[in-house]
Structure 1
Amino acid sequence: MYRHLSLVAAGLLAATPAMAQQFTTAAEIRPILEATRASWLALRPWDGKELLYFTHLESWRCGMAEVRFSVNSSAATRVWDMPPCQTGTAQPNAIPADRLPFAELPPEALQTVTVVVVLADGTELRQDYTRANILMP
């Protein structure tokens, strides 16, 4: 029994460095962004307008150089301004408490949206959405 506990403890200690990753590089966030493409944006009707949320992308911003987007166009020329990475803290990707990670749009204005994520290594990830793909209830 003690041998089993020692093996479990050794396994946990071996896993510790991997769990300590802060996900602040392009190499670290690329697989996450690839796996979560459907969640990059969300659209929510609210108080007579619509809010286009960038929360997911802001949560991984430390490995990004830039996020561009466009509404009802595939040009993706509008830059989404994100807060700086909180380097030197335990949670460098944490979104500041006073941050509102959404753009306000007129009701029913968004039919499509295109997003281009430029990673810190210069590579680009592009995703196109229809309104129905990102509309929250």
Structure 2
Amino acid sequence: MIRPALACLAALLATPLAAEDFTTAAEVRPILNMQRASWIAVREYDGQDLVYFTSVLAWRCGLESVHYGFNDAPAETPLEMEPCHTDTATPNAITGDAHPIYVTAPLGSVETIRLRLTYDDGMTDEASYARKDVLMP
């Protein structure tokens, strides 16, 4: 598992950054695939479950949509995403302006999370997570 990730990372590092702005599926898919285990995180805070999508949102410019589902629900709830800042040097920057990086649920209610990413080329990736595997300390 480590060797393919290292090979992918080496390929990314060998590509000149000036040639890519990480705003297409071809550019962000390898990064997101390497980070699949950390696409989401759950935090218990202020009497709620906060489900963070920070890792996915940091590479949203190559995505058409993100959908999630809690517990037995399929990944059909759309996640609202901040638009890409293509007129800046950092199009994937998260400014936090009116687009939170998490969703809330009642404390202890999120046992599993399903996530579906749809890339701008129409391809999809899906993942499922158990609360205990993504719960932040």
> Does the alignment reach a TM-score above 0.5?
yes
The SS at the match of 1:33 is helix
CA drift of 1:100 comes to 2.3
Give per-residue Cα distances to partners, 1:72-98, cap 9 Å, x unaligned: 025111000101110110000001143
Does residue 120 (structure 1) correspond to residue 120 (structure 2)? The answer is yes
Alpha-carbon distance between aligned partners in 1 of 2:64 and 2:78, rounded to the nearest angstrom: 11
The SS at the match of 2:55 is helix
**Count of matched residue positions in the alignment of Structure 1 and Structure 2:** 123
Match of 2:109, as an amino acid?
A: A
Give per-residue Cα distances to partners, 1:94-125, cap 9 Å, x unaligned: 01143421001101101101000000000000
Give per-residue Cα distances to partners, 1:46-75, cap 9 Å, x unaligned: 011110001111100000000000000251
Alignment of 1:70-85 (within 5 A): 70-85=69-84
The SS at the match of 1:127 is strand
Does residue 88 (structure 1) correspond to residue 103 (structure 2)? The answer is no
Partner of 1:37: 36
Partner of 2:16: 18
CA drift of 1:43 comes to 0.4
Which ranges in structure 2 are unaligned for 5 or more consecutive residues?
Answer: 1-12
Which ranges in structure 1 are unaligned for 5 or more consecutive residues?
Answer: 1-14
Q: Runs of at least 4 residues of structure 1 off by over 6 A?
A: none
The SS at the match of 2:92 is coil
Match of 2:92, as an amino acid?
A: N
The alignment-based identity, stated in percent, is 41
Alpha-carbon distance between aligned partners in 2 of 1:70 and 1:16, rounded to the nearest angstrom: 37
The SS at the match of 1:132 is helix
Alpha-carbon distance between aligned partners in 1 of 2:71 and 2:15, rounded to the nearest angstrom: 44
Partner of 1:109: 109
Alpha-carbon distance between aligned partners in 1 of 2:16 and 2:130, rounded to the nearest angstrom: 36
